[in-house]
Amino acid sequence: MELNILDMYSDTLNIYGDIGNLISIKKRCEWRGIEVNQESFSVGQENNLDYENVDMVLIGGGSDKSQAAVSNDLLKQRNDLENYIENDGVLLAICGSYQMFGNKYSSFNENSIPCLEIFDMETIAQEERLTGNILIENSLGLRPRTLVGFENHGGRTYHKYDVLGNVEVGYGNNDESKEEGLSYKNFIGTYLHGAFLPKNPHMADHLILNALKNKYDIDSLEPLNDDIELQAHDFMANKLLKSKK
């Protein structure tokens, strides 16, 4: 089996080590004997992407300045990305790139960043940032039930789609709803940095399995020894739960 992974803008959108998501996916595939073909795409690169042969797309987060540099370039991919998502393509968008899949992003200084307008979602930035470690209970039925990460965003995001999870500690989409992320078909948008996937191997396997299901007749992955990864996950989860009391 093999997976074709599109790594988008990791040279620009890689705040808080989001490139670790790609590394995690590749290693977990390698340990299972799944071949990974990686293609990287950067700002200004000629648009010759063949999304029909892409199995997974990974996009990290960045500052408003980095988002602005990427947004106009990303708009060139808009129709291809929408078709990819609607056809059950697996896509993980972190923080700033998550925001760009909505209708509107307004910064607190009244500047706006062009968005893809794929989801009916709005992000309104405020000067006070939502920052800190975050713990959520995932809505995907994954075990462990918790997902951990780090968030640092001025944007408050609002939508009516299914969410990645409910916030137990931290902020998530905004400082009102106690909801985090967006889940639509095989698209996952989230504010969790850290990198996200190394500390949440069950989430990484969820993405890998769904990508493989689009190509092969399988319904499960070969188990891995995740003792070290889950120790890291459990340490942070337990620490945050204690801080909640």
Active site residues: 95, 193
Q: What is the DSSP letter of 175?
A: S
| d(C-alpha 61, C-alpha 56), whole Å | 17
Long-range pairs of 47-51 with CB within 8 A, sequence gap ≥ 24: 47/76, 47/77, 49/6, 49/77, 49/80, 51/6, 51/80, 51/81, 51/83, 51/84, 51/89
How buried is 140 (Cβ within 10 angstroms: 0-12 exposed, 13-18 middle, 19+ buried)? middle
| d(C-alpha 21, C-alpha 58), whole Å | 8
Contact assessment for residue 45 and residue 97, using Cβ atoms and an 8 Å cutoff:
no
Helices (H), 127-226: 201-213
Q: Cα–Cα–Cα angle for 180, 181, 183, nearest 5°? A: 125
